[in-house]
Amino acid sequence: MTQSLKGRETEVDQWKDGETHWNKQAIGLQEEKKKKKKTNQITNVYCTNFLGLTLDSTLSWKPHTDQLIPKLNSACYVIRSLKSIISLGTWRTIYFSTVHSIISYSIIFWGNSMYSNIIFKIQKRVIRIMMNVGNRESCRELFKNLNILPLHSQYILSLLLFHFILFKNILIGT
């Protein structure tokens, strides 16, 4: 008992002197912060996320489309799983809530990149699954029948809407 009290007494003495493990770590962190404040170097980063967009140093949009592919493939799986249960009227709602929302987010930035063709192929695959047609059949009429815009048409529409809103605000002065 006296031995455990002596151990506690030395811990209290160390705590009073500021030599505890936690205190040493806090002092070390403060010293690291001081060192970081002294260096004002900007590091070069290959890619970063900003508001849901993955920007790379060359603005090629490959990292962003690489992040869209798994999301769209998951949506494709959901649509394929529900294929036998859902009517055609419900397909459009599911399409717009899953695939279209992923595709149309910030399309005005990445829609014209060379990697957007990969996204367009996934969009066509989803349309073919919805309409229950083969992989080699053209999707042009399928898009028209469903009243869904293909990726490149959606890109053009988004640009037109952006410019219309921008110029409307400039002309009004807001």
Query: pLDDT for 18-37, tens place per residue?
Result: 555 545 555 555 555 555 55
The full set of domain ranges for the chain reads 2-38, 47-172
pLDDT computed for residue 157 by the predictor: 92
pLDDT computed for residue 120 by the predictor: 92
| Angle in degrees, CA 79, 146, 105, rounded to 5 | 65
Best CA proximity match to 79, nearest among 67, 91, 97, 89: 91
Euclidean distance between the first and final Cα of the chain, in Å? 78
pLDDT computed for residue 124 by the predictor: 92
The whole-model pTM stands at 0.68
Each residue's pLDDT expressed in tens, for the chain with a length of 174 residues: 555 555 566 666 655 555 555 455 555 555 555 555 555 677 777 777 778 777 777 778 888 888 889 999 998 898 888 888 887 778 888 888 888 888 988 888 888 888 889 999 999 999 998 888 888 888 898 888 888 899 999 999 999 988 888 777 776 665
